[in-house]
Each structure stands twice: as C-alpha cells, then as structure tokens.
C-alpha cells in the first residue's frame, strides 16, 4: 500500500508544479500584452527624457568664459496684500 501512496504524492506534486507554471505563464503573457499595448501599470524607471526638446551644442570656449553680469531680481515674499 505504501507504493500507491508515494505514487499518488509524486503525481500530486507534479500536477501542482504544472498548475503553478501554467499560472505563471498566464501572468507573464498578460504582462507582455499590457506592455505591447503601452498600458503598463508599473511606474517608469529612471528619469524621463523629453525627446521633443531641442538639444544645443555647447562650445568648450564659451563654457570657460565668465558669464555676463546681470542684475539680481528682487525676491517675492509670501506676504501679499489682497
């Protein structure tokens, strides 16, 4: 009788593994589909790049020259008279 018991336990473990693998594959397929549609629920990683902004070349000679002096702008206080 112990032979039947071990055989059943082996079969049960095997079916449990297969069920777990099937569930994992379904979750991954759903995640792939969401990513393909661009509706990912996860937050984006790292800094976001503004691809539409213009990029200007920096001249190395201009970067070593001192910046022109400008007048400081008066700071605004939080006290506003309404």
* Look-up of token digits 């937050």: 43
Per-residue pLDDT tens over the stretch 42-80: 666 788 777 787 777 777 765 565 666 666 666 666 655
Q: Please report the pLDDT score of residue 34 as a whole number.
A: 86
What does the alpha-carbon distance between residue 45 and residue 79 come to, in Å, rounded to a whole number? 39
Q: Please report the pLDDT score of residue 52 as a whole number.
A: 80
Residue 55 DSSP SS3: coil
What does the alpha-carbon distance between residue 22 and residue 36 come to, in Å, rounded to a whole number? 21
pLDDT: which is higher, 8 or 1: 8
Residue 31 phi/psi, 5-degree rounding, is -65, -40
* Across 19-34, average pLDDT: 94
């Amino acid at each position: 009788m112990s032979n039947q018991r071990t055989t059943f336990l082996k079969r049960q473990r095997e079916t449990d593994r297969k069920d777990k693998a099937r569930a994992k594959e379904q979750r991954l397929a759903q995640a792939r589909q969401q990513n393909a549609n661009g509706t990912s629920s996860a937050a984006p990683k790292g800094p976001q790049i503004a691809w539409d902004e213009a990029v200007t070349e920096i001249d190395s000679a201009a970067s070593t020259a001192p910046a022109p002096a400008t007048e400081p702008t008066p700071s605004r206080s939080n006290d506003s008279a309404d």
